[in-house]
């Protein structure tokens, strides 16, 4: 008895001519499927070569002007105008000395250190404290304050320039270092609070509870227990 899945056979039990004709067709289909892999591989190779070529070209466009500026800084004024693309024949530090003394680069360098150091310290201290409170304590308005910081990340800074100018002018902070530090801290706080709040929520609460039981205050628990644990964040 034969089922529908049994291939028809000839009189002697051998496969029929129709079955024999199907075998080459199946083999041909298998070969055509296998030939698609080299095509995809070649396309990926071409794409990689193109992307790497664009990255190399972009790196050259960025590095060459920087290299030329550094190279020209060791030349004299006449060498810069006469042979702008050649390497310096001898190292001259006159340009560096004039930039440091006559162009007041020493003052600008000191101002940069003060502004960056003050902004970084203020952002880390205030941001970590605010993030710890939002992550560990439940109080009315907790979520509102948190999403207020989140919304601050999407606020366009260009819209705040004119109001910020008048605020700083009324407070007498225009053209002052501490006024610039305050602006940088306010601009950096939203992302800092958003990032550190999520990180403080991952820290174990048992450590903070143990320090409270041992008699530590919330301030001491934060600075001596939780903040060192948050250093990887």
Angle, helix 36-73 to helix 17-34, in steps of 10 degrees: 0
Clarify whether residues 93 and 135 are in a common domain: no
Clarify whether residues 69 and 41 are in a common domain: yes
Residue 37, pLDDT score: 53
> In terms of residues, how long is the chain?
233
Identify the domain boundary among 75, 97, 119: 97
Clarify whether residues 87 and 113 are in a common domain: no
211 occurs within a structural domain: no
Residue 93, pLDDT score: 86
Q: Write the DSSP symbol of residue 93.
A: -
Residue 110 reports pLDDT greater than 60: yes
What is the span of the domain harbouring residue 137? 105-202
Per the structure block, which two tokens stand in for 194?
């958003």
Mean pLDDT, all residues of the chain = 82
Domain count, the chain: 2
Identify the domain boundary among 97, 115, 137: 97
Residue 4, pLDDT score: 46
Residue 86, pLDDT score: 86
Residue 30, pLDDT score: 47
Clarify whether residues 40 and 83 are in a common domain: yes
Residue 68 reports pLDDT greater than 60: yes
Tell me which residue has tokens 């939002």: 134
Residue 205, pLDDT score: 85
162 occurs within a structural domain: yes
Clarify whether residues 141 and 57 are in a common domain: no
Residue 39, pLDDT score: 59
Confidence of residue 38 (pLDDT cuts 50, 70, 90): low
Residue 165, pLDDT score: 92
74 occurs within a structural domain: yes
Clarify whether residues 81 and 112 are in a common domain: no
Clarify whether residues 59 and 92 are in a common domain: yes
Clarify whether residues 148 and 118 are in a common domain: yes
Identify the domain boundary among 97, 119, 140: 97
71 occurs within a structural domain: yes
233 occurs within a structural domain: no
Clarify whether residues 69 and 149 are in a common domain: no
Clarify whether residues 109 and 198 are in a common domain: yes
Q: Give residue-wise pLDDT tens across range 167-216.
A: 999 999 998 999 999 999 999 999 999 999 988 988 888 888 898 998 98
Clarify whether residues 166 and 141 are in a common domain: yes
Q: Write the DSSP symbol of residue 40.
A: H
Alpha-carbon gap, residue 114 to 184, rounded angstroms: 12
DSSP3 helix / strand / coil % (the chain, rounded to 5): 75, 0, 25
Q: Give residue-wise pLDDT tens across range 119-169.
A: 999 999 999 999 999 998 989 999 999 999 999 888 888 888 899 999 999
Residue 60 reports pLDDT greater than 70: yes
> How many CA atoms lie less than 13 Å away from 46 in the CB half-sphere?
6
Clarify whether residues 48 and 77 are in a common domain: yes
226 occurs within a structural domain: no
17 occurs within a structural domain: no
Share of the chain above pLDDT 70, in %: 82
Residue 116 reports pLDDT greater than 80: yes
Q: Which of 11-15, 32-36, 102-106 has the highest mean pLDDT?
A: 102-106
For 222, counting Cβ atoms within 10 Å of its Cβ (0-12 exposed, 13-18 middle, 19+ buried), the class is buried
109 occurs within a structural domain: yes
What long-range pairs does 202-210 form, CB within 8 A, spacing at least 24? 203/229, 203/230, 205/136, 208/136
């Amino acid at each position: 008895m034969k089922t529908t899945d049994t291939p028809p056979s000839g009189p002697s039990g051998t496969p029929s001519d129709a079955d024999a004709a199907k075998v080459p067709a199946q083999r041909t289909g298998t070969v055509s499927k296998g030939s698609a892999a080299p095509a995809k591989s070649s396309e990926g190779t071409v794409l990689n070569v193109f992307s790497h070529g664009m990255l190399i070209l972009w790196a050259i466009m960025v590095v060459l002007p920087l290299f030329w500026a550094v190279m020209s800084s060791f030349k004299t004024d006449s060498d810069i105008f006469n042979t702008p693309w050649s390497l310096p024949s001898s190292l001259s530090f006159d340009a560096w000395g004039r930039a440091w003394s006559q162009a007041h680069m020493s003052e600008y360098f000191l101002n940069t250190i003060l502004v960056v150091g003050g902004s970084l310290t203020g952002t880390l201290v205030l941001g970590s404290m605010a993030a710890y409170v939002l992550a560990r304590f439940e109080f009315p308005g907790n979520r509102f304050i948190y999403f207020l910081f989140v919304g601050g990340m999407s606020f366009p800074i260009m819209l705040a320039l004119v109001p910020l100018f008048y605020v700083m002018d009324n407070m007498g902070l225009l053209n002052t270092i501490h006024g610039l530090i305050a602006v940088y801290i306010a601009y950096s706080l939203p992302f800092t609070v958003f990032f550190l709040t999520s990180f403080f929520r991952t820290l174990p609460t048992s450590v903070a509870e143990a320090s409270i039981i041992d008699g530590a205050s919330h301030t001491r628990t934060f600075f001596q227990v939780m903040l060192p644990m948050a250093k990887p964040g």
